[in-house]
Amino acid sequence: MLTPNIDLRNKTVLITGAAGFIGSNLVMELIRTIEKIHIVGIDNMNDYYDVSIKEYRLAEIERVADKVVQSTWTFIKGNIADKELINRLFEENKFDVVVNLAAQAGVRYSITNPDVYIESNIIGFYNILEACRNYPVDHLVYASSSSVYGSNKKIPYSTDDKVDNPVSLYAATKKSNELMAHAYSKLYNIPSTGLRFFTVYGPAGRPDMAYFGFTNKLLKGETIEIFNYGNCKRDFTYVDDIVIGVKHVMQNAPERVMGDDGLPVPPYRVYNIGNNSPENLLDFVNILQEELVRAKVLPEDYDFESHKKLVPMQAGDVPITYADTYDLERDFGFKPSTSLREGLRKFSEWYKAFYMIK
């Protein structure tokens, strides 16, 4: 196991995408558990999905932050593609650690709205890298994605695998992030760690994710479409597990070492962060249904069979995502522990409360 080389106490941390699903939960975890941490969050609060969920997350952060007087939380509504804003934030705050979670998410949306992916995922990330170069940081942690594995046939996906076959623009932008981070690590000795997330779910998650969309449709009496005739498998990972993994990584920056050529050996790592236990989509749907009934989101006599439709695979999707998480376990002794049923139970209970379902 690695020995932590960054003490987050008394450090100033930038978290981009702070009103997002993973970002907001990470902010709350750090405020709860790290003494005297100073967090600046930025998010553009776009309307890719229901902004009220982002506002709810920010309100939850405020609720947590109000109880911890020795730490500080500052939120900036802004776009990481705004180079002037990013440079000003870095100059004013002298960040020790940066966690870049801001990105335009979603595979299918990238097919119909490519411009926003280039703006946020390429230009925005470039601005973060340039700022880390000009205002040096101890560690840059950034979100990649399991989508970089594209059409790879080998399962489980390993960080040693080639990732040269993206099947969506979203995947291509995430692969680009890894390449850009590697170049900046080599050129400017910036310790950076990329995290390939695998299907994150939980309360106050993204409504474009399958479990959330299914719930919305079932509640309206609409039919849910299960792709690849139900033969999809996903490495569903509960958000609390993801956040603990990110926190471990933040505290372990790759070491700066000089190579024989007199130049830095890139202080650069990439990890898969997933559950290492893929679930069949049909099983996932069945557990979700049971938990929605248990939480009284849906009535006990709901006719699920009449609201399910098995359909072919869609463009840009892959039949299975499955993470080899050996490196994460070896370096941090970390393995996600939340069962699918427990995670979906918490989501169902949150959904009932958030939408005030009687």
Question: Tokens representing 70?
Answer: 């020795």
Using alpha carbons, select from 211, 258, 257 the residue that is nearest to residue 234: 211
Question: Tokens representing 167?
Answer: 């099947």
Q: How far is CA 61 from the centre of its chain?
A: 17
Place of tokens 């069962």: 339
Helix extents (H) in 66-108: 83-93
Sign (positive or negative) of CA dihedral 285, 291, 296, 301: positive
CA distance 309 to 226: 6
- Give Dmax (Cα) for the chain: 70
Q: Are 205 and 199 in contact (CB under 8 A)?
A: no
* Residue 319 DSSP label: S
Catalytic residue among 117, 126, 142, 170: 170
Helix extents (H) in the chain: 21-33, 51-65, 83-93, 109-112, 114-117, 125-134, 169-188, 210-219, 239-250, 281-294, 326-332, 340-354
Sequence-distant (6+) residues with CB within 8 A of 63 are: none
Residue 156 preceded by cis peptide, ω within 30: yes
CA distance 240 to 153: 29
Q: Are 137 and 94 in contact (CB under 8 A)?
A: no
Phi, psi torsion values for 204, nearest 5 degrees: 55, 35
Strand 237-238 versus strand 257-258 pairing type: unpaired
State yes or no: is 56 an active-site residue.
no
> Which residues are marked as active site?
170
